[in-house]
Amino acid sequence: MSIVKEIAAAVEAGKSKQVGGLVEQALAEGIEPNVILNEGMIQAMGVVGEKFKNNEIFVPEMLIAARAMKKGVEILTPYLAKQGVEPIGKVILGTVAGDLHDIGKNLVGMMIEGAGFKVLDLGVDVPPEKFIEVMKANPDCKVVALSALLTSTMPAITSTVKAIEEAGLRNTVKIMIGGAPVTQAFADEIKVDGYSEDAASAAELAKKLYGVA
């Protein structure tokens, strides 16, 4: 098996330590960092996402795989910067105001990162003003992703979207939403650009909204 395939297999199996060692070995062998990233790790996360969607694996396995990918990305980042490999784009992500749930949001962030984006994760309980501040500081960001886990914080999605509109920034970004109580019908009602049910489809949606799917 080639070392890139070994990296993909180790990411899929969630073997963080092994991924770290293999990525270092691949770099030492002169394999291009973008090949390690795209053909090794991103491809593996795609497989993980599919398996998750098909209920072949569950949240713990996906989290472990995402952590293994993160380990590899940490090692690769300085090399990718040197090579001038640009992320596909930036995604601003956060759990809306009043909501402290972040496990699903973190998974979404890891999968979107795994798809090749830079994720600006604002954390939990994020007020609309914070989203707007970060949008203004990152005019190249084209997707804002809002997570909510409580029925009682779904209105905070609506008010965040409204605040983005009022700040005159609505036309600069696509907005995607998700979280256990959130539905496509709700997304349609508040006129956002996309809804996804889980982390794997969130990564696909981000690519679609960026026009790279």
Residues found near ligand B1M in the complex (CB under 6 A)? 59, 98-105, 107-108, 145-147, 149-152, 176-181, 196, 198-199, 202
Residue 209 CB, shortest distance to ligand B1M, in Å, is 11
Please, which residue, 85 or 150, has the CB nearer to ligand B1M?
Answer: 150
Question: Tell me, what amino acid is at 74?
Answer: E
Supply the DSSP symbol for 37.
I
Residues 31, 176: Cα–Cα separation, whole Å: 36
In angstroms, what is the minimal distance from the CB of 114 to ligand B1M?
13
Q: Which is nearer to ligand B1M, 36 or 126 (CB)?
A: 126
Helix/strand/coil for 1: coil
Which of 127, 50, 38, 124 has its CA nearest to residue 76?
38
Q: Which is nearer to ligand B1M, 22 or 149 (CB)?
A: 149
Query: Rounded to whole angstroms, how far apart are CA atoms 39 and 44?
Result: 8
Closest approach of Cβ 74 to ligand B1M, in Å?
22
Cβ proximity to ligand B1M, 7 vs 176, nearer residue: 176
User: Whole-angstrom Cα distance, residue 143 to residue 120?
Assistant: 10
In whole angstroms, the minimum distance from the beta carbon of 59 to ligand B1M comes to 5
* CA 174 to each of CA 60, 116, 142, 177, 195: distance values in angstroms, whole numbers, following the listed order: 30, 18, 6, 10, 11
CB of 42 to ligand B1M, least distance (A): 18
C-beta of 12 vs 204, nearer to ligand B1M: 204
